[in-house]
Structure 1
Amino acid sequence: MARGDGEPTLITSVQRALRLLEVVGEHPVGITAKSLSRRTGIALPTTYHLLRTLVHEGYLAKLDDGAFVVGSGVEGLHAAGREHRTWGRVRDAMTTLRDDLNAAIYLARYHDGEVEVVEVVDCPRSPRVDTWADFRQAAHATAIGKCLLAGLSPSERADHFSRHPPADLTPRTITRVRDLVHGDPPGLVHDVEEYALGTACMAAPVALGDVPATLAISFPTRRLADRSEFARPLGKAAGVISRMLAVPGDFPTGE
């Protein structure tokens, strides 16, 4: 397609197909190809060609009476769009907390028996902690892991440590399994140089049904004096994100 300098290259067939989808979406009981042609101004032969393609790809479905309705492919896009919007709002909340506290922000969950860090929001002046040891192997030494494990039963925690025996990561690391299994109750937890020397972390639970989830921050130990000032904003942000995730009822994967 010819275009002027600086103008985007537009694919007419794609534009027409999207217009057909829009019009079909306005008619939940279905609309015929001839009506679509009249409504959109697209020639009838082209309309039939585009409709066949859209039906084949699952974005439209053809009823027994010949009318067309929205197909399952569009429903999938709608669900994906809702998750992307939720994920964007979650990231915005994490970014705001990062800027307010000047700390790296983490969102994690306990999924399929493992600690899974889903998203990290940091910046050069508030860098994430150097993950020299896999968080999945170091739940006992991180505020993230402690908060997630606190959402499990003692037997589930014992199972976790049977698969991931706690190792000494720093001189401050707690490795006694009995203390870890019967450790922190649900709520705000922290670690000070248990995972990495010079680094402290705090974590607050995020409500996600039966799935343990957490919002956490990391910061240099030289800022430990500010720790009491971090608790309220962190807890408030965790509550905000809990409410965001309560509507979709799922945890964005970030993938």
Structure 2
Amino acid sequence: MQRQCLEVQAVQRALDILEVVGNSVQPVSLKELAYHTALPKSTAYRLLGNLEHRGYVRCSGDGSYQLGLKLLMMSQRVEQAFELKHLVRPFLLELNERFKETVHLGVLEQNRVLYVDSVESPQPIRLVAETGSTNAAYCTSLGKALLIRHSDEAIRQILTADGMQKRTDYTITAEDAFFAAMAQTRQLGYALDNMESAPECRCVGAPIYNHRGQAVAAISISGPATRFSLTLIANEAAPELLEDSRQISRFLGLMQESRLSGGRAL
């Protein structure tokens, strides 16, 4: 069944204004905006004031308008996520081929793990997380890997906001125990989900760092506990995952350094 869109006039008008501003190479005057959107100047001016207050447009000294920093930052995040996904994809395919288990790429979004990409295991019994879905950080290897450089106070705020629901008999639900797990994660350089998020499922995750040393993403391998043993993880999966995450971090750092330097090789 086709979803019906309930049009809100003020929202539609604000979007019309943003489209005119965004599609223009030069800053746009109030007069031009009113003309292209067929809005009275007073209405356009009022909507522009709201958009400017929220950072979606900015007004220059001559009274013309252009896109604000918030939209530019949002577009940059989308571009970086797109670049990251294409950069990491070959590594996910290789890990999937090597271990025949499901592999994921995730980022931290509003204190939760957002699954950006995944390659499913070819085996009949496998773990699946839909791209675009989210999961808690405290009970997943991706989440722990993404929190590896966070301060204890920042982690405590995330745990308080998201809660620590007991999902299995192995789920860590006490802050002290979680901080102990994070200490081990920092020592090893990778994170383990030992049947904490789902029964009889294990995952190992490693962080991806940007040029500032921040963990901006993470990759993981997930499989049923009957196949994906702790010995296999420690001796084979984790070392290969760490090597891949190091390579991706180097590539990502070089890409970002190049962008910051205007495309010049450093």
* Fold equivalence (TM over 0.5): yes
In the alignment, structure 2 segments of 5+ residues that lack a partner are 1-22, 26-71, 258-266
Aligned 8 A contact 2:145 2:207 in 1: yes
Q: CA deviation at 1:178?
A: 2.5
Q: Which amino acid aligns with 2:241?
A: L
Give the structure 1 partner of residue 251 of structure 2. Answer: 244
> Highest Rg: 1 or 2?
1
Give the structure 1 partner of residue 158 of structure 2. Answer: 160
* 1:233 equivalent among 231, 236, 240: 240
Aligned 8 A contact 1:144 1:216 in 2: yes
Q: TM-score, normalised by structure 2?
A: 0.57
Q: Flag the structure with more relative contact order, 1 or 2, with Cα contacts below 8 A and sequence separation at least 6.
A: 1
Aligned pairs for 1:6-45 within 5 A: none
Q: CA deviation at 1:146?
A: 1.6
Q: Which amino acid aligns with 2:254?
A: V
User: Would the alpha carbon gap of residues 247 and 240 (structure 1) be closer, same or farther in structure 2, given more than 3 Å must change?
Assistant: same
Aligned pairs for 1:129-168 within 5 A: 129=128, 135-136=134-135, 138-168=136-166
Q: How many residues align?
A: 175
Aligned pairs for 1:78-227 within 5 A: 87-125=85-123, 127-129=126-128, 135-136=134-135, 138-185=136-183, 186=186, 187-208=189-210, 209=212, 210-223=214-227, 224=229, 225-227=231-233
Aligned 8 A contact 2:112 2:143 in 1: no
Q: Which amino acid aligns with 1:248?
A: M
Give the structure 1 partner of residue 4 of structure 2. Answer: none
Deviations 1:204-240 (A, max 9, x none): 1211233442111101111204222112111111112
Secondary structure (helix, strand or coil) at the match of 1:95 reads helix
Alpha-carbon separation, structure 2, partners of 1:158 and 1:221: 29
User: Would the alpha carbon gap of residues 167 and 81 (structure 1) be closer, same or farther in structure 2, given more than 3 Å must change?
Assistant: closer
Aligned 8 A contact 2:192 2:205 in 1: yes
User: Would the alpha carbon gap of residues 178 and 84 (structure 1) be closer, same or farther in structure 2, given more than 3 Å must change?
Assistant: closer
Q: CA deviation at 1:85?
A: 6.3
Q: Which amino acid aligns with 1:218?
A: S
In the alignment, structure 1 segments of 5+ residues that lack a partner are 1-56, 60-75, 251-255
Aligned 8 A contact 1:158 1:181 in 2: no
Compute the RMSD of aligned alpha carbons.
3.1
Alpha-carbon separation, structure 2, partners of 1:81 and 1:173: 35
